Chain A
Amino acid sequence: DAGVIQSPRHEVTEMGQEVTLRCKPISGHDYLFWYRQTMMRGLELLIYFNNNVPIDDSGMPEDRFSAKMPNASFSTLKIQPSEPRDSAVYFCASSLAQGRNQPQHFGDGTRLSIL
């Protein structure tokens, strides 16, 4: 079975540019999560969706960040305008809704560098 697929794997862009990260969750999973990982702050939850509806976006740093899930098989995380402090590895994860102990399945991440 295909796991969570993220694209691109690497992105290098200049400050001020728009960045769009993409995620395809595992088919049938009801939850989708966006995380950011840095050495300083570890793995931080940015936003998560249940059945395509945003449930909690309290981790989104500021208005420059936005996330959408137009359908069950696709989500985007957009940063506009990007800043050097946004440099990090961004992970998407998905999980089933049944039961409280379902694992989250992570993609391999997008390594973002803002120059």
Chain B
Amino acid sequence: TQLLEQSPQFLSIQEGENLTVYCNSSSVFSSLQWYRQEPGEGPVLLVTVVTGGEVKKLKRLTFQFGDARKDSSLHITAAQPGDTGLYLCAGAAGGTSYGKLTFGQGTILTVHP
């Protein structure tokens, strides 16, 4: 069974601060996705990283896939209250589990104005 561990579980910061969320596993994933979920809604895809060492930027958000494709990080620069939400990483196994994602426990981010 593939597991993804996210840290921290909770993050409460002031507007303008920077933060990093980590997603780690002992398993190799063919790709890794990051989702954001707001209260009362389902998760929404932010980005997919595929290649080991890949870095993708989405405005103030920077996503990195580890060289060995076992871990990933999400860095937010100058956080804003609108960034508040639950951030989930999800790994795709590939092979016979094609299409299936394993989700991390999530990081609840609160950005205070």
Residues of A bordering B, CB below 8 Å: 4, 31, 33, 42-45, 48, 50, 55-56, 91, 93, 95, 97, 100-109
Is the beta-carbon distance between A101 and B48 smaller than 8 angstroms? Answer: yes
> Are B31 and A4 in contact (CB-based, < 8 A)?
no
Could you list some 5 contacts between A and B, CB below 8 A? Answer: A4-B42, A100-B92, A104-B43, A106-B44, A108-B40
> Is there contact, CB below 8 Å, between B99 and A31?
yes
| CB contact list, B45-103 vs A, under 8 A | 45, 48, 50, 88, 90, 92, 94, 97-103
Find the A residue at minimum CB distance from B41.
Answer: A108
Known: A101-B48, A106-B44. A56 touches B97 (CB 8 A): yes
B104 nearest CB neighbor, chain A only: A42
- For the complex, is B105 an interface residue (Cβ under 8 Å from A)? yes
Contact A109 B99 (CB under 8 A): no
Is A45 within 8 A of B101, CB to CB? yes
Bound: A71/B71 CA distance, A: 37
Question: Across the interface, which residues of A come within 8 angstroms of B31, CB to CB?
Answer: 100-101
A-B CB pair tally, cutoff 8 Å: 59
Residues of B within 8 A of A (CB): 30-31, 33, 40-45, 48, 50, 88, 90, 92, 94, 97-106
Which residues of chain A are near B42, meaning CB under 8 Å?
Answer: 4, 91, 93, 106-109
Closest CB-CB distance, B95 to chain A, in whole Å?
10
Whole-angstrom distance between the alpha carbons of A109 and B48 in the complex? 23
Give min CB distance, B46 to chain A, whole Å.
Answer: 9
- Contacts A48-B99, A56-B100, A95-B99; A101 near B92 (Cβ below 8 A): yes
- The contact of A42 among B30, B44, B48, B103, by CB within 8 Å, is B103
What residues of B have a CB within 8 angstroms of the CB of A109 in the complex? 40-42
